[in-house]
Structure 1
Amino acid sequence: MPPAPVRSRARRGRPRPRRPRGSGMEISVYKQFRNVMTSLWLVPVLCVLLGIGISFTTIAIDRATGFRALPEDLVGGPEAALEILTTVAASMVNLTVLVLTIVLVVVQLAMGQFSPRIVQRLLRDRPSQLAIGLFVATFVHTLLTIREVDVGDADDPGHVPGVAIATTFVLSLASIAVLVVYIHHIGQALRVSALVEIAGDNTRKLVNEVYPNEAPMPADADPGFVLAEESGAVTLIRYDKLVEAAQRADCTLELIPALGEFIPAGGRLFQVRGNPERLDRSAVHRSVVIRFERTLEQDVSYGVRLLVDMAIRALADAPWQDPTTAVQAIDRIHDCLRELAQREFPDGHHVDASGELRLVEKVMSWDDYVTLAFTEVRLAGAGSPQVARRLNSAIDDLLAFAPEDRRPVLEEQRDLLRAAIERSYGDERDAALAAGSDRSGIGASRQ
């Protein structure tokens, strides 16, 4: 008898692949549906069909009225109408090419600077699709209108489709408005925060779809805290409104995140000291503006942060380091710190008219500003003689200008800079050059 076949042990423990739910046809239809709904061309194609429909409708009205629906003084004669329609048609083609070019540039920038995985979301951008759709719809409508213009001859004065031409005027004005709005939109969309928000917002929506059950309230949630209704950075605080709300409730509010800090949705925004039941929480929420990006409306530290980012980006490890740009950023950092050096800083306590404490917040101190301004630039730029010398010059000037009680943090930064310079240069002569003080980096006053 032939031996019994031996079964593979590996096969016995291997799980069988699960077949996807639904038939192969259903899955294929779903894939095609998703590809169409998320494509760049769907909205423009629908707009083309809409433009054809508008053109046929307006031309039908003109024919039904014997091309006398609108007076010739309003839409012009046949020659003028042809000139206008030809110009509009050519302009719409140029605008369409412009928007497509901008979309491609945005995609390339996003792929190179942020992540290639963000491209899918950018191609689904509805404002871009609507702008392209309006331009191509206007183009199609204009082409169909041109064929209805009759120049006539010596015996026939000809006619123009007045309603169709008036519709062309309206679509042209709408296209100009949409172009301006679109340029603003694309400028906003190129910001890092906007691209991060695209990924974060869509992920949050997906979480709610995949896990529809509501999250339980935190165990420590109590009326003594005001929770944030949305996520983002605290960008604007209306202090007078918060003081009024706290005064009416006879309590004290403590703002937990500092100005510019991020807070998640449902996070603790305020702590209420006193009786929280009388507090108008809607008024409190209206008094704090939360956005997905910090702004320069009240946040001075954000301005310093931007200058520091410019400086360290110019000093990033790459063959195209630009210490001169870093020096220019340090110039403005120096100027801002000099403006702050002798000014009084608030303690974050806000009182009402009777002197009762109503609002407490975290605020930046002089030491905080100096640390923010110099630490990262020093760590990134100590190896560049230009940057090191410009930092020395800024610190020396601030030491001579700042009050006595504000000099220790500057002296600490100077000592740290000298230690970083010593570690960065193998030759004492290079270290001595970098340890000098020069407002130009390496300029006429080289020491």
Structure 2
Amino acid sequence: MIARTRKFIGDLSETFWLIPAVMVLIGIATALGLLQIDGSGLISSTILDSRWLYDGGGTGARTLLGAVASSTIGVAGTVFSITIAALSLAAGQMGPRLLRNFTRDRGNQITLGIFLGTFSYALIVLRSVRTQDEGAFVPHLALSVSIVLAFVCVATLVYFVGHMASRINVDTVIELVSEDVRAAIANLTTEKQQPLPPPKAIWRNAEPVLDARYGYLQQFDGDGLADWAAEHSTAIRLLVRPGDYVFPDAPIALISPMVDGAGEAIRAATALGSRRGSTADLEFSIRQLVEVAVRALSPGINDPHTAMSVLDRLGAALCELVPRKLTSGVYLREDRPVLVIANPDYAGVTNAMFHMIRQNAVNSTAVLIRLLDVLASVVSCEHEPLRVLSLQGHADLVLGDAERHISTPADLADIRARHARFVAMKIDGPFGALEPLEQSTNCA
């Protein structure tokens, strides 16, 4: 139930309509409240006669409110139609999966909310205006607020144009996605020592738990499932992790020993969705950033500078990961492992970061050089042997691909020199950067 609640809250927070709907309700409530004040006689004649409040008649009030309502809904429709066209163009260059970053953008949601809220406000006030023949009721305070809201809409339109122009800039998109990567690292890693996984022998007599559902695992209540396993004196090994696709009637977990209600407990602790995307999925944010680089390296776009910018952000994320530990996915109760989930390790994270970029940049000397520079910067501050070994593997793969695909001797010499610098920084740390780069002529 907790996993499903988290999924519902997460889906609700990413919906495009929530904030505009709330602002529409605020506009309606504000209109009703101000109309109540106008009709109560609480506003003194001195204030009503002041130049700061609307002082026209019923006909003018209806014209004013009609103009505000028609213009705000018209501008809202036009602006967001143009936005859809711009996003379609951006999706072709940076990937359709990045559109969720635009739809969940608070600036876009608030802009639409202000226009629709003003439209709703004007309609509610308009329905209460009465001319002399109808009973003469002109809500001066509510009309004055409608004028203020009209100017707010003008300012919002100016803001929105600049906001969207910056949002579809590729550097801004890269920075936004890299912030998601850093947030995922901060949320899904820890500085505490992690328990080691139990030996595989304990699962030798385990029984599989089948699941008829299908979809991506988006949320997982590990603590709740671990408490259930401890209460029933059993151990569970989950075969999927957040971001994995669950296939219908395929094993989702192993349990030893089997107890009644295991399937229901696992289903209650997991929430599936139709698309990959979760705050509990580290590799999802990484793959979004990698997709920008891979598309930039495609022959149709051929923008190595974008790929190099992505590599810089990935290197920064790995440097932030240096003092932290990836969770092992082992849940203990009374020092006994009751739940194990295969969380990503450092090698898996670096594979997700660099494999696809390297494979698509085999003919781009500049990108391969920048990849080696990023690996060298990370290895200069990383001291854990297994992590260093993983970084060494990626550097060796870059050199191997270059020797097979780069035919220009000078370019190949540059890559070999950068690889030698990586090795020097692995051995000597930052002091390895003092080693000269022989025959280096390329700028990366």
Partner of 1:351: 332
Q: Give the alignment partner of residue 242 of structure 1, picking from 219, 225, 239.
A: 225
Find the aligned partners of 2:123 and 2:46 in 1 and give their Cα distance: 19
Partner of 1:334: 315
**Are 1:414 and 2:395 an aligned pair?**
yes
Partner of 1:227: 211
Flag the 1:105–1:273 CA change in 2: closer, same or farther, 3 A: farther
Partner of 1:392: 372
Q: Deviation at 1:267?
A: 5.8
Q: Deviation at 1:418?
A: 1.9
Find the aligned partners of 1:349 and 1:302 in 2 and give their Cα distance: 21
Find the aligned partners of 2:46 and 2:280 in 1 and give their Cα distance: 52
Flag the 1:387–1:296 CA change in 2: closer, same or farther, 3 A: farther
Q: Is the 8 A contact 2:65 2:126 kept in 1?
A: no
Counterpart of 2:260 in 1: which secondary structure?
helix
Flag the 1:114–1:430 CA change in 2: closer, same or farther, 3 A: closer
Q: Give the alignment partner of residue 316 of structure 1, picking from 298, 311, 325.
A: 298
Q: Is the 8 A contact 1:141 1:168 kept in 2?
A: no
Q: Deviation at 1:361?
A: 1.0
Q: Is the 8 A contact 1:342 1:402 kept in 2?
A: no
* Deviation per residue, 1:293-346 (Å, 9 max, x gap): 555633332333233223223323235x33233222212212333444575554
Find the aligned partners of 2:232 and 2:126 in 1 and give their Cα distance: 67
RCO higher in structure (CA 8 A, sep ≥6)? 2
Q: Deviation at 1:94?
A: 3.7
Superposition CA RMSD, Å? 5.2
Partner of 2:270: 288
Matches within 5 A, 1:84-99: 85=61, 88-99=65-76
Q: Is the 8 A contact 2:243 2:278 kept in 1?
A: no
Instruction: State the TM-score, normalizing by the size of structure 1.
Output: 0.55
Q: Is the 8 A contact 1:256 1:268 kept in 2?
A: yes
Counterpart of 1:276 in 2: which secondary structure?
coil
Structure 2 segments unaligned to the other structure (5+ residues) = 1-27, 97-108, 174-206, 422-435
Percent of paired sites with the same residue: 16
**AA in 2 matched with 1:231:** G
Matches within 5 A, 1:185-224: none
**Are 1:270 and 2:253 an aligned pair?**
yes
Partner of 2:186: none
Find the aligned partners of 1:434 and 1:365 in 2 and give their Cα distance: 28
Structure 1 segments unaligned to the other structure (5+ residues) = 1-50, 62-66, 119-126, 151-157, 192-222
Find the aligned partners of 1:343 and 1:80 in 2 and give their Cα distance: 59
Matches within 5 A, 1:34-73: 72-73=43-44
Counterpart of 1:232 in 2: which secondary structure?
strand
Counting matched residue pairs gives 321
Partner of 1:361: 341
Q: Is the 8 A contact 1:247 1:352 kept in 2?
A: yes
Flag the 1:230–1:83 CA change in 2: closer, same or farther, 3 A: farther
Higher mean C-alpha displacement, 127-136 vs 308-317: 127-136
Find the aligned partners of 1:265 and 1:91 in 2 and give their Cα distance: 53
Find the aligned partners of 2:387 and 2:64 in 1 and give their Cα distance: 66
Counterpart of 1:277 in 2: which secondary structure?
coil
Find the aligned partners of 1:329 and 1:403 in 2 and give their Cα distance: 24
User: Larger C-alpha radius of gyration, 1 or 2?
Assistant: 1
**AA in 1 matched with 2:300:** A
Q: Deviation at 1:247?
A: 1.4
**AA in 2 matched with 1:251:** T
Find the aligned partners of 1:136 and 1:418 in 2 and give their Cα distance: 61
Richer in helix (by share): 2
Q: Deviation at 1:435?
A: 4.4
Flag the 1:335–1:265 CA change in 2: closer, same or farther, 3 A: same
**Are 1:251 and 2:251 an aligned pair?**
no
Q: Is the 8 A contact 1:99 1:131 kept in 2?
A: no
Q: Is the 8 A contact 1:340 1:366 kept in 2?
A: no
Flag the 1:254–1:139 CA change in 2: closer, same or farther, 3 A: same
Find the aligned partners of 1:393 and 1:275 in 2 and give their Cα distance: 51
Q: Is the 8 A contact 2:54 2:143 kept in 1?
A: no
**Are 1:382 and 2:362 an aligned pair?**
yes
Flag the 1:271–1:387 CA change in 2: closer, same or farther, 3 A: same
Find the aligned partners of 1:329 and 1:345 in 2 and give their Cα distance: 22
Partner of 1:33: none
Flag the 1:280–1:312 CA change in 2: closer, same or farther, 3 A: closer
Instruction: State the TM-score, normalizing by the size of structure 2.
Output: 0.55
